[in-house]
Structure 1
Amino acid sequence: MLLPTPLYSLVVLGLLLVVGLARRLASPLRKVPGPPSSLLTSLVLRWRELNASRTAYVHRLHQQYGPVVRLAPNEVSFTSWPALKEIYCSGGSGYDKTDFYDMFKVFGTRTLFTMLNKADHAKRKRILADCYANTNIMRSVAIQGIRDRSRVFLDRCTSATESKTSEIFMALHAYACDCITNHLFHPHGSDCLGTREDEVMMHQSTADDSLQYRLIAHYSPSLHRLFSGIISLFVKPREVPLVDHYILNTVKHGNVARFTLLNRLSQKDQELGWQTNFEGTPKSPWTSFRS
């Protein structure tokens, strides 16, 4: 058996580089405006993503190159209205999503937000649409929950003294969390505006800083599987135990109002093909709040 010599390895590597370069230069995206490096590699974009500066980077590229910019060998960014209309509205619901949305699965399950195929998304959306219809949202018990939370929110904002200003950022997140969970789980919605325990839970979710960890898992799954323990020493994995505990306990408890999303999901279990195993990992995307 002949072992590859260093020269042989270099020749093979050189051929692979030539083939890769030829494919890049022959790509139809070569004519799209963008930085020269973006035709050859996506490493610059990935580095920006890992450093949480992708948005600012893409914005600068659009300022430099115009409404259509090549970001990577297989990625283009658009800012024009015709392009946005085509991407998000073509055929009624736009294009299919990419596997980028896999990063936002909940308990390993696809929610309505993370479904990739637009036909599947449309089917599930139709099943749940009545839960978000005005006739349901405007029910007196649903509206009363929003009124109560609005009153508490305003009281919190106006109670600030000269020596203590209201933390509007946290207050808005608390208000949003309370209103959302009211629609999801009433009467078991959160009380982030009123109780310290629920506010800490909300902050744990909103202050999550695990994007780098999830990006590594998404773009380099093999590397992540082999070295996840080491990677977690340098970048933070997603850990929201208080949120998980709240959601699982609330779903397990049941006994929610008719207008809530949880009630609708309970009625549509068989049609949606979901199951829930409360003894182990949940198999039902009743947990969209967590994401």
Structure 2
Amino acid sequence: MIPILCLGALLFGLVLFHVHKNLISSPLRHLPGPKSFAFTKWRLGYEEYRGMRTQCVNNLHKKYGEVVRVSPYEVSFSSLSALRKIYGSGSRFERDDFYQMFDAYDRKVLFSYSSGIDHRERKKILNSAYTKTAIMSPSNVDMIEEKVKDFLALVQRDSSATGAVEIFSALHYFAMDSVSHFVYGATSPGRTTAMKGTRQHRGIIDDMLDPARRKLFWYAVFWPRLTEMLYAQGAIVQKSLASFGLLPMKTPTYTGLRKHNFPVIQHLETQQLLGSDDSLASRLLAGTIPSAKASAPMDTLDVAAECSDHFLAGIDTTSNTLMWVIYQLSRPENEGFQSKLRAEIQALDGPAGSGTFIYPEKAGTLPYLDAVIRETLRLHAPSPGSEPRWSTNDEVIDGYTIPRGTVVSISPYTLHRQPQVFANPLRFDPERWLGPEDQVAERKRWFWAFSSGARMCIGVHLAMAEMTTLLANIYQNYWTHIPSEYLQVSPGMSARGDLFYDEHLSQVEEHKCWIQFVPIRALSTCLQGCV
């Protein structure tokens, strides 16, 4: 009896301690937000475990306003003034420890650097490979043309075999084949051919799309040392742990990707292929990127880590955005948008269905296509969740003093759903980006799909070139529709532990999206025969 009373007293004391520390004496105690979230990080942790953190924080902003305390040491914001203060040029906020999980081979990469100084030095090395001029070089344009034609061939094969194409996987193949060519080179063993059916390369995507990766992400955030220890064990121990349900998943996600990457870097180095092409890897290894030698030097492991990160970053983001574009244009209520896009393409390059290839230079000039992509990125940002930062100094944001060490964040998901900026925010409406200039300018101020400031996405020009070219050529040649049996099913996209889907639908199929591709010439022939 006495041990039970002692345990009860201990637990009661711990509760009182946390009440005093987090609710009574905390310098954040005056900030808006629910007390349960301010009391313990596990309240938000529960939402993260459910894969609903981002949606939960958005709902808190709806209830409490632009400033919400979402855990004992984290505050979420949703204003433009906070966006400029935290992420704008000259910001004193740094990335927090959250980003350490994106290190590769125990090396920092551009995306995971906490220090703004270190990030700036690494970015100097990488920037020239990602300028718009570099992306529009003949070798990269040829690469994009080749991959778009490979995707159209895949669509033709799969449509003939099944009547519909599962585009979630197919677009991941497209994005992986494209970025592997860009990172490793046209003749490198690192170049993947998943669209042509290479099973080993498709296995890399299968590894990435394992639904258990959301669970692994949660473990890595809340139990980082335990997760690292569990996966440091040998195969036999891991198997035993897995049998008791003590591993988040059988192997850490992205294992296949990193196993693919490292031997390729070793091959490029040992075969003396350095600088023999325009690929990112060979140029980094050879030091032929301007300032690569003058800035902080990169050894082989640094190059391997950076290439692994760029390989990964170029897959999910591009493929998920393309999937949502095609999904939205294929919904019956959005058929008018698809027709207008096709009319724009037809005006650019002759009759739709003519088979004329549309190159990146022309695809990037289509305003309606740009509006379609921008609206998709607004509604389905590839990284919709919070972007955590912290400062070593006390800061004032939106009138509140934020003590040093406090995590602050903003999410694209919440910014993009502000009803005073985006009327009917859950509605897919590309034409909101084609309205009066002053209204469009205001919406663009709230558009944050690629981040901003020094940490803005370095690969935006490559991603846009791939997306505009693929979409222009798809809708030059096909009508797309959702099969009737899938009209009430939303595809599910996982991003940093959360699950995102079409919020108008309640049934979700994670990492699947079925689309019918109807060739325009065949459709035109049918329509002529029916007149």
Q: If the length of structure 2 is used for normalisation, what is the TM-score? A: 0.48
The one-letter code sitting in structure 2 at the alignment partner of 1:261 is L
For 1:251, which of 260, 265, 271 is the aligned residue?
A: 265
1:185 correspondence with 2:209:
no
What is the total number of aligned residue pairs between the two structures? Answer: 283
The one-letter code sitting in structure 2 at the alignment partner of 1:107 is Y
Describe the shift of the 1:235–1:126 C-alpha distance in structure 2 as closer, same or farther (beyond 3 A): same
Aligned to 2:19: 21
Contact 2:265 2:304 in 1 (8 A): no
The one-letter code sitting in structure 2 at the alignment partner of 1:27 is S
1:220 correspondence with 2:223:
yes
Q: Tell me, what secondary structure is at the counterpart of 2:70?
A: strand
For 2:308, which of 278, 287, 290 is the aligned residue?
A: 287
For 2:93, which of 92, 95, 98 is the aligned residue?
A: 95
Distance in structure 1 (CA, Å) of the matches to 2:297 and 2:82? 35
Cα deviation, residue 41, structure 1: 0.8
Aligned to 1:201: 204
Distance in structure 2 (CA, Å) of the matches to 1:36 and 1:165? 49
Aligned to 1:116: 114
Q: Tell me, what secondary structure is at the counterpart of 1:76?
A: strand
Cα deviation, residue 156, structure 1: 2.6
Q: Tell me, what secondary structure is at the counterpart of 1:70?
A: strand
Query: What percentage of residue pairs aligned between the two structures are identical?
Result: 27
Cα deviation, residue 221, structure 1: 4.2
Cα deviation, residue 273, structure 1: 3.8
Contact 2:210 2:253 in 1 (8 A): no
1:60 correspondence with 2:84:
no
Range with greater deviation from structure 2 (112-121 or 127-136): 127-136
Query: In the TM superposition, what are the counterparts of 1:109-188 in structure 2 within 5 Å?
Result: 109-159=107-157, 160-161=159-160, 163-187=162-186, 188=188
Distance in structure 2 (CA, Å) of the matches to 1:201 and 1:227? 22
Mind listing any 5+ residue stretches in structure 1 that lack a counterpart? none
Cα deviation, residue 43, structure 1: 0.8
Describe the shift of the 1:135–1:94 C-alpha distance in structure 2 as closer, same or farther (beyond 3 A): farther
Which structure shows the bigger proportion of residues in helix conformation? 1
Query: In the TM superposition, what are the counterparts of 1:40-51 in structure 2 within 5 Å?
Result: 40-51=39-50
Contact 2:110 2:119 in 1 (8 A): yes
Distance in structure 1 (CA, Å) of the matches to 2:225 and 2:266? 35
> Where do 4+ consecutive residues of structure 1 move more than 4 Å?
5-19, 221-229, 281-284
Distance in structure 2 (CA, Å) of the matches to 1:185 and 1:73? 44
Contact 1:104 1:114 in 2 (8 A): yes
The one-letter code sitting in structure 2 at the alignment partner of 1:275 is D
Q: Tell me, what secondary structure is at the counterpart of 1:193?
A: helix
Distance in structure 2 (CA, Å) of the matches to 1:227 and 1:180? 32
* Cα deviation digits, residues 130-164 of structure 1 (max 9, x gap): 11122322221121011110112133335524942
Which structure shows the bigger proportion of residues in strand conformation? 2
Contact 1:107 1:282 in 2 (8 A): no
Q: If the length of structure 1 is used for normalisation, what is the TM-score? A: 0.83
The one-letter code sitting in structure 2 at the alignment partner of 1:263 is S
Aligned to 1:238: 252
Range with greater deviation from structure 2 (116-125 or 236-245): 236-245
